[in-house]
Amino acid sequence: MSNLLKRTTTALVLIALLVAILYFGGMVLQCAVLFFSLALCHELISAFKHKGNNIPEHYILLACAFHFVVYERGWPWFVAFTIPLFFLILYYLKEDDFTIEDMGISALILIYVPTFLFPIMALDKTRYLYLVFVISIATDTFAYLTGMAFGKHKLCPTISPNKTVEGALGGVAGTMLCGLIYCMIFDIHITLIHVLFIGLASVTAQLGDLFASKIKRATGIKDFGHFLPGHGGFMDRFDSMLLIIPMVYILFRFSL
């Protein structure tokens, strides 16, 4: 099977699965988010292990699941951070081969994945849920097309050689247009803040992509995983979406 065929088949299966998850929502969405968070943590841990870091995977996955329970129960957010970090400190004191760098990376994973991902559950059954995916797809599409057509100035050549300043700007502009059209179609009240946050979400999406790319370069890996044939791992496919979710959640939660 050619790589293009594998990528296309995987993409179609992912789209069908995603549509089903978003349609049913509720428990289905919660289970999907929990699975997805554990998969992302696993891929990040594997990347840093490839570099030689000693990351306690069983503990990180358990702490991520604990964070999920805290979020679902509506307990104070500091509980989700302080208790796992307390035990992380104990682990650091106990294990001589667990360095301060390893501890920092472990804390980063525990903060990075749950904090950015779990708010998507609060968007369940709202029109804002689909806005996350509109922004993600529009950013990727317009950044690629604009970069191909007009790209001359490299954005971050040491991290992602193919990305250009023109492509990044085109991604933001195209996403703002698509976001506004979506809001008008689905009767979401539009203000200047909506325009700014949709544009900001496109910017953070591209930052998320660059962040993931830099981690891959720093750890010496090509892909975060092989679970998605032709695409790599979940982090390879959804790295930008993680940083979109908080922007859309802020719009929804605070009715800006």
203 plus 79 within the same structural domain: no
Band of the pLDDT at 2, cuts 50, 70, 90?
A: low
- Quick one: pLDDT at residue 45? 97
Question: Residue 144 domain-assigned?
Answer: yes
Residue 140 falls inside a structural domain: yes
95 and 151 inside one domain: no
Q: Number of folded domains in the chain? A: 2
d(CA 161, CA 104): 28
Residue 58 sits in the same domain as residue 140: no
Q: What percent of the chain has pLDDT over 90?
A: 75
Average pLDDT for 199-207: 95
Report yes or no on 13 lying in a domain.
Answer: no
Among 121, 143, 159, residue at a domain's last position: 121
Helix 26-51 with 3-24: angle, nearest 10 deg = 140
What pLDDT shows up at residue 255?
66
Region 178-183: mean pLDDT is 94
The predicted model gives 165-176 an average pLDDT of 95
Q: How many other CB atoms are found less than 10 A from the CB of residue 25?
A: 16
**Claim to verify: residue 98 and residue 164 sit in the same structural domain:** no
pLDDT tens per residue across span 19-70: 899 999 999 999 999 999 999 999 999 999 999 999 999 999 999 999 999 9
Does a structural domain hold residue 190?
A: yes
Question: What is the DSSP annotation of the chain?
Answer: --HHHHHHHHHHHHHHHHHHHHHH-HHHHHHHHHHHHHHHHHHHHHHHHHHT----HHHHHHHHHHHHHHHHHT--HHHHHHHHHHHHHHHHHH-TT--HHHHHHHHHHHHHHHHHHGGGGGGTTSHHHHHHHHHHHHHHHHHHHHHHHH--SEEETTTEEEEEHHHHHHHHHHHHHHHHHHHHHTTPPP-HHHHHHHHHHHHHHHHHHHHHHHHHHHHT-S-S-SSBTTTBSHHHHHHHHHTTHHHHHHHHHHT-
> Are both 148 and 237 inside the same structural domain?
yes
Q: Are residues 130 and 256 in the same domain?
A: yes
Whether the pLDDT of residue 232 is over 80: the answer is: yes
Model confidence pTM above 0.85 = yes
Which domain-ending residue is among 94, 121, 148? 121
At residue 231, the pLDDT reads 73
The answer on 70 and 47 residing in a single domain is: yes
Could you tell me if 45 and 102 lie in one domain? yes
In this structure, the answer to whether residues 107 and 142 fall within a common structural domain is no
- Give dist(CA 245, CA 129) in Å, integer: 9
What is the tens place of the pLDDT at every residue in 127-138?
A: 999 999 999 999
pLDDT at site 219: 95
**Residue 96's domain spans which residues?**
26-121
Regarding whether 130 and 41 lie in a shared domain, the answer is no
Mean pLDDT of 148-154: 90
Going by pLDDT thresholds of 50, 70 and 90, the confidence category of residue 253 is confident
8 A C-beta contact, residue 44 and residue 234: no
* 103 and 217 both lie in a single domain: no
What is the average pLDDT value for the chain, to the nearest integer? 91
* Assigned domain for 132 exists: yes
Q: What is the mean pLDDT of residues 158-170?
A: 92
14 assigned to some structural domain = no
As a whole number of angstroms, the distance between CA 206 and CA 143 comes to 9
* Domain-embedded: residue 163: yes
Q: Which of 96, 121, 146 is the last residue of a domain?
A: 121
Q: What angle do CA 71, 77, 83 make, to 5 degrees?
A: 100
Question: Are 109 and 130 found together in one domain?
Answer: no
Task: Answer yes or no: is 1 within a domain.
Answer: no
